[in-house]
Amino acid sequence: MSHSNEVQGVGVIGLGAMGRGTAMALHESQLDVVGCDIVDEARLAFEREGGKCVASPVELAHCNVIVVLVVNADQVETVLFGEQGVAPCLAEGSLVIQCATVAPAFARDLNARLEAMGLAMLDAPVSGGAAKARRGELSVMASGTPGAFSQAEPVLDAMAATVYRLGDAAGVGSSMKLVNQLLAGVHIATAAEAMALGLRMGLDPQTIYDVITHSAGNSWMFENRVPHILKGDYSPLSAVDIFVKDLNLVHETGRELAISTPVAASALQQFTAAKGAGFGREDDSAVIKVYQRLSGITLPDAANDSGGV
Amino acid sequence: MSHSNEVQGVGVIGLGAMGRGTAMALHESQLDVVGCDIVDEARLAFEREGGKCVASPVELAHCNVIVVLVVNADQVETVLFGEQGVAPCLAEGSLVIQCATVAPAFARDLNARLEAMGLAMLDAPVSGGAAKARRGELSVMASGTPGAFSQAEPVLDAMAATVYRLGDAAGVGSSMKLVNQLLAGVHIATAAEAMALGLRMGLDPQTIYDVITHSAGNSWMFENRVPHILKGDYSPLSAVDIFVKDLNLVHETGRELAISTPVAASALQQFTAAKGAGFGREDDSAVIKVYQRLSGITLPDAANDSGGV
């Protein structure tokens, strides 16, 4: 690796579910990591685990790799270009690894603006959840120039089990993530809908799970999320709000490109209703409560949990 | 096994994709099988493989187990109770194994009518496809009395790899099948929608498949059906028409029980549009042609197939 590609400091912006785990995984590798979050508790939690922290992105100006693990495009905008944004202060040739789920058009525009400032960008949305983030085992759907990939390599090695290299152009990583989110979001809503119909027909919920996970109706999300419903445990691993956001990105991208996505639109309405009913911060499997509120079904209750799943 | 449970002859009604394979699997076991189909070619195909055939259900009156593998409830009605229907001619204590995908309410009503005639019924929808049917490796979602299960045992042993025993009541097997079909149908439409959006955003279709099948957006149906799209091969393994029918069953059952299923409803509209556009008899993955007709995407072409999948 050439000298210019050496990582002189990694700033991780956003110490939420994904960010804190990733920052810790990077910290445990040989990298010099500084975390950044405006939320005091997020910084304190990272510091308790031995991490270094700052409250403002601009304090990461000495880093030559910035990993952006915030929730949406507005936050990406703020941490890079806002009043305390770090982008204008980075040394020429520094790299921004953009990991948020954003519209492909936003990723392309962001890349153009960073390039104009002499900075490199990798469009690199992640998936895998908080537990895999902590183990440095995320999946990364990434696109960018060979130079950006080379510069990112030590960081990606420490945070990801799998890196899909999707080509040179910014936006491709974000496009692939959007395809995944369309499927994931619809599958969660459909798992809830199928469980609700099954319960309404009088089927035993555990039996539905056992049969469907061995049948053609199975999905990764059905298998992963329905146990939350069976336990009556809606503690958020990934929240309803995330799919309101991500299926809205699908909708907006479809509108821009004039391609209709009616199945995703219907799932979006169910997540939107779940948010409207007050379940936005619960686990995304809580979308089943929309069906519960509109029918006579009784959901499995945490208090009645037999510990079967 | 008691004498009364001995299988004295198995009549298989319906020699289509599932029926012919199942009839052959039963024929190759020690059972005395007679196939039945009104379609000449279906009977000839079974006879060429060494099977015995009749054209009319009433000619199966000597059998004491009848396996009904027709497409829908109307056909079940006709082959059992129509002008040439076999039900009134069966000896008392004979068993009807009802394998079609039908509404749970229909299965319950059918059971009551057969019981009133002194006949037993197993509500036993199947899944697995034609290839597994031929190998006697179907999955069966079955409900019925212990007596009916015991009587069915030699037949189920020969036709199924897995039998889910879902309790005593008719309708439970059909309810479970309906839950599976809701999921399967939505997942196929969503796979098509996600591929269409990905193509519209400029992603490589094979790359989408490779990434998604290793990501949280995966489903059994995505993994199984998208290769048909990648090959541009819409030869029907299971046709668009089947999901128009099965998602209509979901809709009708939801209407009866007053539980809304908006995601399934949206998928149903896409299959209905595919049928309206003339693709009803093509493979169910041809639902992507609805998206193709309404956008600028170019689908992979059979002629351009690089044999990559």
Residue B74 makes CB contacts below 8 A (sequence gap 6+) with: none
The four Cα atoms B81, B124, B28, B136 give a dihedral, to 10 degrees, of: 150
| A-chain residues near B128 (CB < 8 A) | 216
How close does chain A come to B302, measured CA to CA in Å?
24
3-state secondary structure of B62: coil
**Is residue B306 packed enough to be buried (19+ CB in 10 Å), middle (13-18) or exposed (0-12)?**
exposed
CB B141 within 8 A of CB B111: no
CB A181 within 8 A of CB A244: no
* Residues A249, A161 within the same domain: no
Q: Count Cα atoms within 13 angstroms, Cβ side, for A150.
A: 10
Give the integer Cα–Cα distance in Å for A220 and B222: 11
With a CB-CB cutoff of 8 Å, which residues 121-140 of chain B face chain A?
A: 127-128, 139
Please, what is the end-to-end C-alpha distance for chain A in angstroms? 48
Considering the candidates A177, A231, A245, A289, report the single residue annotated as catalytic. Answer: A177
3-state secondary structure of B155: helix
* Cβ within 8 Å, pair A217-B180: yes
Residue A309 is assigned to a structural domain of this protein: no
pLDDT of residue B303: 62
Give the integer Cα–Cα distance in Å for A270 and A291: 9
Give the integer Cα–Cα distance in Å for B180 and B128: 12
Largest CA distance in chain A: 66
- Put simply, whether A219 touches B (Cβ < 8 Å) is yes
Residues of B labelled as active-site residues? 177
Q: Which of A198, A219, A263 sits opposite B266 (nearest CB)?
A: A263
Q: What ipTM did this prediction achieve?
A: 0.94
* Cβ within 8 Å, pair A197-B172: no
* Cβ within 8 Å, pair A179-B217: yes
For the sheet containing B52-54, what is the strand order? B52-54, B33-36, B10-13, B65-68, B95-98, B120-123
Which domain-ending residue is among B152, B169, B186? B169
- How large a percentage of chain B has pLDDT more than 90? 92
* Cβ within 8 Å, pair A183-B164: no
pLDDT of residue A17: 82
Among chain B residues, the shortest Cα distance to A293 is held by B259
With a CB-CB cutoff of 8 Å, which residues 87-106 of chain A face chain B?
A: 104
Q: Please, what is the angle between helix A220-231 and helix A172-200, to 10°?
A: 50
| A-chain residues near B138 (CB < 8 A) | none
Give the integer Cα–Cα distance in Å for B51 and B70: 18
pLDDT tens digits for range B75-100 = 999 999 999 999 999 999 999 999 99
Give the integer Cα–Cα distance in Å for B275 and B174: 25
- Put simply, whether A298 touches B (Cβ < 8 Å) is no
DSSP letter, residue B83 = T
- The number of beta carbons lying within 10 Å of the beta carbon of residue B278 is 11
Is the pLDDT at B47 greater than 90? The verdict is yes
Q: Which residues form the domain of B227?
A: 175-304
* Residues A15, A113 within the same domain: yes
* Residues B135, B62 within the same domain: yes
Residue A212 is assigned to a structural domain of this protein: yes
Residue A201 is assigned to a structural domain of this protein: yes
Instruction: Find the CATH number of the domain harbouring A94.
Output: 3.40.50.720
Is the pLDDT at B2 greater than 70? The verdict is no
Instruction: Find the CATH number of the domain harbouring A209.
Output: 1.10.1040.10
Tokens (6 digits) for B229: 């799209």
* Residues A49, A198 within the same domain: no
CB B264 within 8 A of CB B250: yes
pLDDT tens digits for range B226-261 = 999 999 999 998 999 999 999 999 999 999 999 999
pTM of structure: 0.94
| B-chain residues near A259 (CB < 8 A) | 196-197, 200, 291, 294-295, 297
Tokens (6 digits) for B157: 């042993």
CB B68 within 8 A of CB B93: no
Which domain-ending residue is among A152, A169, A186? A169
* Cβ within 8 Å, pair B263-A190: yes
Residue B309 is assigned to a structural domain of this protein: no
* Cβ within 8 Å, pair B262-A269: yes
Which position has the token pair 């030869």? B235
Q: Please, what's the b/e burial string for A8-40 (b: 16 or more CB within 10 A of its CB; e: otherwise)? A: ebbbbbbbebbbbbbbbbbbbbebebbbbbbee
Cα angle: B113, vertex B119, B125; to 5 degrees: 75
* Residues A46, A179 within the same domain: no
Please state whether B236 falls in left (phi above 0), alpha (psi between -120 and 50) or beta: beta
Among chain B residues, the shortest Cα distance to A255 is held by B197
* Residues B159, B19 within the same domain: yes
pLDDT of residue B80: 98
* Residues A152, A297 within the same domain: no
Indicate the pLDDT class of residue B1, thresholds 50, 70 and 90.
very low
Give the integer Cα–Cα distance in Å for B242 and B247: 9
pLDDT of residue A303: 63
Q: Tally C-beta pairs within 8 A across A and B.
A: 226
Averaged over successive runs of 10 residues, the pLDDT of chain A (309 residues) comes to 69 95 95 97 95 97 97 97 98 98 97 98 94 95 98 97 96 98 98 98 98 96 98 95 97 97 98 98 98 95 52
Residue type, B52: K
Q: Which of B164, B219, B253 sits opposite A218 (nearest CB)?
A: B219
Is the pLDDT at B304 greater than 70? The verdict is no
Residue A92 is assigned to a structural domain of this protein: yes
* Cβ within 8 Å, pair B184-A253: no
pLDDT of residue A306: 43
How close does chain A come to B192, measured CA to CA in Å?
10
* Residues B40, B122 within the same domain: yes
Q: In a mutagenesis test of the A interface, which of B181, B209, B220 is the best target, namely the one with the most A β-carbons within 10 Å?
A: B220
CB A150 within 8 A of CB A6: no
pLDDT of residue B4: 54
Which domain-ending residue is among A169, A187, A217? A169
pLDDT averaged over chain B?
Answer: 95
DSSP letter, residue B84 = T
Q: Which of B195, B215, B262 sits opposite A270 (nearest CB)?
A: B262
Chain-centroid distance, C-alpha A172: 16
* Cβ within 8 Å, pair B193-A175: no
* Residues B111, B163 within the same domain: yes
With a CB-CB cutoff of 8 Å, which residues 252-291 of chain B face chain A?
A: 253-254, 257-267, 269-270, 291
CB B95 within 8 A of CB B122: yes
pLDDT of residue A3: 44
Closest CA to A186 of A141, A235, A219, A228: A219
Strand partners, A250: none
Residue A14 sits at φ, ψ, to 5 deg, of: 105, 105
How close does chain A come to B226, measured CA to CA in Å?
13
**Is residue B250 packed enough to be buried (19+ CB in 10 Å), middle (13-18) or exposed (0-12)?**
buried
Q: Which of B166, B260, B266 sits opposite A262 (nearest CB)?
A: B266
Among chain A residues, the shortest Cα distance to B215 is held by A180
Give the integer Cα–Cα distance in Å for B127 and B135: 13
Residue type, B71: V
- Put simply, whether A166 touches B (Cβ < 8 Å) is yes
* Residues A183, A255 within the same domain: yes
* Cβ within 8 Å, pair A217-B215: no
Give the integer Cα–Cα distance in Å for A51 and B244: 56
How many domains would you assign to chain B?
2
For the sheet containing A126-127, what is the strand order? A126-127, A138-142, A160-165
Give the integer Cα–Cα distance in Å for A290 and A274: 6
Which position has the token pair 């015991």? B150
Residue A218 is assigned to a structural domain of this protein: yes
CB B17 within 8 A of CB B71: no
Three-state SS string across chain A, please?
CCHHHCCCCEEEECCCHHHHHHHHHHHHCCCCEEEECCCHHHHHHHHHCCCEEECCHHHHCCCCEEEECCCCHHHHHHHHHCCCCCHHHCCCCCEEEECCCCCHHHHHHHHHHHHHCCCEEEECCEECHHHHHHCCCEEEEEECCHHHHHHHHHHHHHHEEEEEECCCCCCHHHHHHHHHHHHHHHHHHHHHHHHHHHHHCCCCHHHHHHHHCCCCCCEHHHHHHHHHHHHCCCCCCCEHHHHHHHHHHHHHHHHHHCCCCHHHHHHHHHHHHHHHHHHCCCEHHHHHHHHHHCCCCCCCCHHHCCCCC
* Residues A125, A207 within the same domain: no
Give the integer Cα–Cα distance in Å for B86 and B11: 10
| B-chain residues near A104 (CB < 8 A) | 201
pLDDT tens digits for range B151-161 = 999 999 999 99
* Residues A11, A141 within the same domain: yes
Is the pLDDT at B308 greater than 80? The verdict is no
